[in-house]
Structure 1
C-alpha cells in the first residue's frame, strides 16, 4: 500500500518538474515577442491602443497635440524591445517625456487598461499580456515622476 502512495508522489513531482521546465522554455524573451505577433503584431496592438485612447475621456486630453505617427513608432519599438524583440527604442527617456504631464494614478491605470483591451482585441494570450505588463511596471515611477 505504501508503494502506490510513493508512486503517486513521484509521478506528481515529475509532472510538476515537467511543467516548470515547459514554463522556463516558454518564458524565453523571444517567446513573448512571438506571442505578441512580432513587430507587426505589436504595431497592431499599438494602433488599437491609439483608438482606445482617443475614445477614453479619462486620458485623451493628455495625448492631444501628440504626433500620432511618431508616438505609434516609438511605442511599437519600445514594446518590441521590452518583449525581447530585435527592435531598439530610440525615443526620449520616460521621465523626460512625461515631465510636465502630471500623470495621475487613474490616468496611468486607464492607459494600462486600454493596453490590455488592445491586446485582447488582437487575441494575445492572457499569460503574454501579464508578462508584458510585468515588464512595463518598472517604468511606472518614471512616468509618475516619483
Structure 2
C-alpha cells in the first residue's frame, strides 16, 4: 500500500521541478484538499514544508534513480516551487508562481520508473519529518493525477 501511495506522491514532488513562469492557476498544480489549514499544520506549516522539501532534495540527489534529473537543475528554485505547490494543495494560503506541470517537465524525459522513485523519495522525506501517515496519503492522492503531465517516456 505504501508503494501505491509513493507513486501518487511522485506526481506531487516532481510537478514543479523546473518551474519558473509565474501566474498559473492553482487548480493546474493540484486541487486544494482541505477546507481549513489543518493538513497544512500537520506538515508543520511553512517552516515544516521548507524542512520537508530541503530533506526531499537531499534524498533525490542521493538516489541514483533521480540524481540526474536534479544535480544540474536550479535546486533552490525547485524547492521554492515545491513549497508553494504543497502549500496551495494543503490550503496554507499560498500562491503558486511556477509553470504548469506539463510545460515544466516536457523536455525532461521522465519515465514511470523515475517518477515512482521520486514518489518513494518524497515519502521518505515525509517520514523523516514525522508527517502523519493520513496527511501523507491525502497529499499523495491529490498529486497523483499529475503523472499524466510529468511522465513523458
TM-score over 0.5 for the alignment?
A: yes
Equivalent position of 2:14 in the other structure: none
- Number of positions where the alignment pairs a residue of Structure 1 with one of Structure 2: 120
Distance 1:79 1:45 in 2: 10
Distance 2:43 2:35 in 1: 13
How far has the Cα of 1:124 moved from its partner?
A: 0.5
Relative contact order, CA 8 A, sep 6+: which one is greater?
A: 2
CA offsets per residue over residues 86-143 of structure 1, 9 Å max, x none? 1111111110110011111111011110101000000011000000001101211111
**Which has the greater radius of gyration?**
1
Distance 1:107 1:29 in 2: 33
- Identify the match of residue 131 of structure 1 among 119, 122, 138: 138
Equivalent position of 1:95 in the other structure: 102
- Identify the match of residue 83 of structure 2 among 66, 70, 76: 76
Equivalent position of 2:58 in the other structure: 51
How far has the Cα of 1:64 moved from its partner?
A: 2.8
The runs of at least 4 consecutive aligned structure 1 residues that moved more than 6 Å come to none
Distance 2:147 2:39 in 1: 21
Task: Give the number of the structure whose residues are more often helix, by fraction.
Answer: 1
Distance 1:42 1:55 in 2: 20
Give yes or no for the alignment of 1:144 onto 2:138.
Answer: no
Which runs of no fewer than 5 residues in structure 2 stay unpaired?
A: 1-33
Cα contact 1:95–1:145 (8 A) shared by 2: no
Equivalent position of 1:15 in the other structure: none
TM-score by length of 2: 0.74
TM-score by length of 1: 0.78
